[in-house]
Amino acid sequence: MNLESKIPEGPLAEKWTNHKFNVKLVNPANKRKYDVIVVGTGLAGASAAASLAELGYNVKSFCFQDSPRRAHSIAAQGGINAAKNYQNDGDSVFRLFYDTIKGGDYRSREANVYRLAEVSVNIIDQCVAQGVPFAREYGGLLANRSFGGAQVSRTFYARGQTGQQLLLGAYSALSRQIANGKVELFPRTEMLDLVMVDGKARGIVTRNLVTGKIESHSAHAVVLATGGYGNVFYLSTNAMGSNVTAAWRAHKKGALMANPCYTQIHPTCIPVSGDHQSKLTLMSESLRNDGRVWVPATKELAQKIRKKEIHPNDLSEDERDYYLERKYPAFGNLVPRDVASRNAKYVCDEGRGVNETGKAVYLDFRDAIKRDGEDVIAGKYGNLFDMYKQITGSNPYKEPMTIFPAVHYTMGGLWVDYNLKTNIDGLYATGESNFSDHGANRLGASALMQGLADGYFVIPYTIGNYLAGEKYEKVGTDHEAFKEAEKAVKDNIDKLLSIKGSKSVDQYHKELGKIMWDYCGMSRTGEGLKKAKEMIKELRADFWKNVKVLGSNEEFNSSLEKASRVSDFLELGELMIDDALHREESCGGHFREEHQTPEGEAKRNDEDFAYVAAWEYTGPEKPETLHKEQLIFENVKLTQRSYK
């Protein structure tokens, strides 16, 4: 299989402009003849559905939540990047492009990343026009703050509620089109299969999560905006409903899955408190602007803190190790997430971690409060501080927060070309469900940027290029392909319900998550990955013999929902292991202990691994086939990342 990235010719800064001129257009009067399915209503999905409907297409929008407002995008806290250079501190489109390429450890496609940086400036204007209440400076200009991996302030924010406010903006645009009759919304509906007709994506099969009814929906094109697969680890910062099913079912119909081992571990999460937890809570990376990360300078002091013999406020400056500031003086506490996370692991592995488990470090605002005053800090982070206090019982105004890395975002996803089209004609993937923009590590505040860039400014152009060459005739849901897909979905549901084993779905999910975290988490080894592969195989075999799914299909059945999703996670987990095992290098969030510098940093192998690993499903119990898209760097020099 030849992976054609469809990158336009010409200079980097002119590619997107020239491409927009050269794509085929659909006559405005003809757009109403085309149907488009958009699965997912987060930032990528809601913005895409609203924009496509605004253009005149007939859109069907699907979400498994009861409202688009409950999409996981709402949980994003700290901000959205854009190269506006309002601070006059040296930012530019090229600098945002460069920081993103470097932050991803040179494992992303130059053309896609430059386009992302280029359209970022338009996103802010769009959102302000929608009424998104971004923070403002005293003079009325939009405020900015810094995020990891950058030495400029380019992150726009609405306190610690940026994702929520942006989603409400996209939701308002979507609601307008629903009221206009151009978008038909299907809440509490989950996609369970992709329907192919003559090699093209022509619809989906869904399950109504309230009644259990299996239904088919046809269209001329399908857009997946279904988020990431971080919940394969069970404990993550993702909403508990977040899953991989839509993307995975498309993968099993032929869509390539790219770089699945690239997982982002976020450094500032509230530490695990016990076996009872089903998810973890994120503390925004924006806190690292004013908070200082540290641990006790010695194991003995850390042990006394864990035993509550001394309080962290009692330690003098000499007894504290501000390890990020010490090791990375140029970036300090604002190093990228993968670097901050690994270093937190290192100091905890040394025995200098705090709290009862020893798996935590401090994020301390003492100096910032002393410098700026409590009111100023509360104005920036007040809702985050309140959330932290409600969860932990500790007051971060008076004592340092405790934080520890946790699974947060997945850089891998469905392979797409420059047009965001998968290798299947008519099937597109946007936002976190594709692999395209972040390489091996995503910089903070770039997820919201990508989701809205794809939905508002990319897919409306590129999907038209495809539809312009498609006939108006619709494929009815009585077509044999839809009947076969419906039968396959029903057979899978019946199989799950018929097992009647002794172990709950959550038990299997927890076991899978522990395997993935232990062997394919913050660091990986060849030996550990091989062991994990065998463990997952055994777990998956046991799942199909001993899982206990309660109830029936013809009802609201959360046990069945989970079982369907976990069965996909079990298969995905094995592919993630294969991908991590084959990549004999360290880059970004993929840290193979066999490949590191003397200082413990990631050591890439550009000669052998400067490519996108795109995996093709070949059938049950068969090894997947690896396809490679070579990454060509013409505008940045491949160098060892340094934040010192």
Catalytic residues: 337
- Smallest CA-to-CA distance from 98 within 635, 609, 458 is with 635
CA 66/CA 209 separation, integer angstroms: 10
Distances (CA, A) of 496 to 59, 215, 301, 445: 32, 19, 52, 39
N- to C-terminal Cα separation, the chain: 41
239 with 72: CB under 8 angstroms?
A: yes
User: Positive or negative CA dihedral for 276, 282, 287, 291?
Assistant: positive
CA 59/CA 182 separation, integer angstroms: 6
The token pair that represents 84 in the structure block: 């506006």
The token pair that represents 398 in the structure block: 């008076």
138 with 83: CB under 8 angstroms?
A: no
CA 90/CA 612 separation, integer angstroms: 31
Task: Say if strands 263-269 and 320-321 run parallel, antiparallel, or are unpaired.
Answer: unpaired
- Smallest CA-to-CA distance from 47 within 134, 129, 182, 168 is with 168
The token pair that represents 491 in the structure block: 């057979």
259 with 613: CB under 8 angstroms?
A: yes
- Smallest CA-to-CA distance from 573 within 261, 266, 280, 278 is with 261
Q: DSSP character for 333?
A: G
- Smallest CA-to-CA distance from 501 within 563, 544, 546, 543 is with 546
The DSSP secondary structure of 13-28, one letter per residue, reads GGHHHHHHHHS----H
* Angle 516-443-629 from CA coordinates, rounded to 5°: 70
User: Positive or negative CA dihedral for 272, 273, 276, 280?
Assistant: negative
Distances (CA, A) of 466 to 256, 279, 428: 19, 40, 10
B/e letters for 189-226, b = 16+ CB within 10 Å, e = fewer, are: bbbbbbbbeeebbbbbbbbbbeebebebbbbbbbbbbb
CA atoms within 13 A on the CB side of 635: 18
CA 67/CA 167 separation, integer angstroms: 12
Phi, psi of 594 (to 5 degrees): -70, -15
Distances (CA, A) of 308 to 208, 297, 354, 390: 51, 17, 10, 21
| Number of residues that make up the chain | 644
* Helices assigned H by DSSP within 500-582: 505-520, 526-546, 558-582
